[in-house]
């Protein structure tokens, strides 16, 4: 089932317009400036809730990227599709600044021997982990509006299969891990806030007894 679904997405459900979109949405370097501006706007204009959201998100992403993902990749050591078989790959042109790649035709090629030693293990997916953590935090803090980010997370997850970087089971398993990790981080943050805020920030705690109103 995993192989069948992977090859369906990677080889058959393709289109030139999707090639550019999928490659672009998976390239974090293109979106870093926009994400930085959005984070700054949240901190400046959304008050306590915005600042609490950013702090919890940074902690969750740091734990996910530097502990959970790296630990599981090393322990499981699963090969990526492009490392173990020939798959269709889409690559953006190298440009400076990076966003200029959006205006150039991507290169389509099939993986070969040179791809077997590139990138790390397949499970879990760092891209999916980060975006599902962000989506979960958005929902927890912003409710209905937060669900909108899952359209981005879903597109990123699909792109990882489309681009030959991950198996469908990698994406599904990582999504469950990401939701669980985000919920755990927020639960621990709430406990820490209730324990330490009355002592070190009593005025702020009087106005905000919980991180999530």
Helix (H, G, I), strand (E, B) or coil at 12: helix
At residue 136, does pLDDT exceed 90? yes
Q: Which two three-digit tokens encode residue 171?
A: 């994406």
Tens digits of residue pLDDT in 141-186: 998 889 999 999 999 999 999 999 999 999 999 999 999 999 999 9
Tens digits of residue pLDDT in 46-104: 999 999 999 999 999 999 999 999 999 999 999 999 999 999 999 999 999 999 999 99
Tens digits of residue pLDDT in 9-34: 999 999 999 999 999 999 999 999 99
Per the CB < 8 A criterion, the answer to whether 167 and 81 are in contact is yes
At residue 199, does pLDDT exceed 80? yes
What per-residue confidence (pLDDT) applies to 135?
Answer: 97
At residue 213, does pLDDT exceed 80? no
Domain range summary for the chain, segments of one domain joined by +: 2-207
CA distances from 38 to 16, 33, 54, 81 (A): 30, 9, 11, 34
What per-residue confidence (pLDDT) applies to 113?
Answer: 86
Tens digits of residue pLDDT in 46-55: 999 999 999 9
Q: What predicted TM-score, i.e. pTM, was given to this entire model? A: 0.94
C-alpha 137 chain-centroid distance: 12
What per-residue confidence (pLDDT) applies to 48?
Answer: 95
């Amino acid at each position: 089932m995993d192989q069948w679904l992977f090859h369906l997405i990677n080889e058959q459900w393709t289109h030139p317009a999707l090639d550019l979109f999928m490659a672009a949405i998976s390239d974090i370097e293109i979106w870093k400036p926009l994400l930085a501006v959005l984070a700054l706007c949240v901190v400046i204009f959304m008050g306590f809730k915005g600042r609490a959201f950013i702090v919890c998100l940074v902690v969750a992403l740091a734990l996910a990227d530097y502990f959970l993902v790296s630990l599981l990749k090393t322990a499981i050591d699963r090969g990526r599709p492009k490392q173990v078989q020939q798959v269709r790959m889409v690559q953006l042109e190298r440009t400076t600044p990076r966003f200029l790649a959006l205006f150039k035709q991507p290169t389509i090629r099939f993986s070969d021997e040179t791809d077997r030693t590139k990138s790390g293990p397949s499970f879990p997916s760092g891209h999916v982990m980060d975006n599902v953590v962000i989506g979960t935090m958005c929902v927890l803090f912003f409710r209905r509006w937060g669900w909108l980010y899952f359209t981005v997370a879903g597109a990123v997850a699909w792109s990882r299969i489309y681009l030959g970087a991950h198996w469908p089971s990698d994406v599904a398993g990582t999504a469950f891990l990401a939701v669980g990790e985000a919920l755990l981080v927020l639960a621990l943050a709430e406990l820490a806030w209730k324990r330490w805020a009355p002592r070190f920030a009593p005025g702020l705690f009087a106005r905000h007894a919980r991180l999530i109103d």
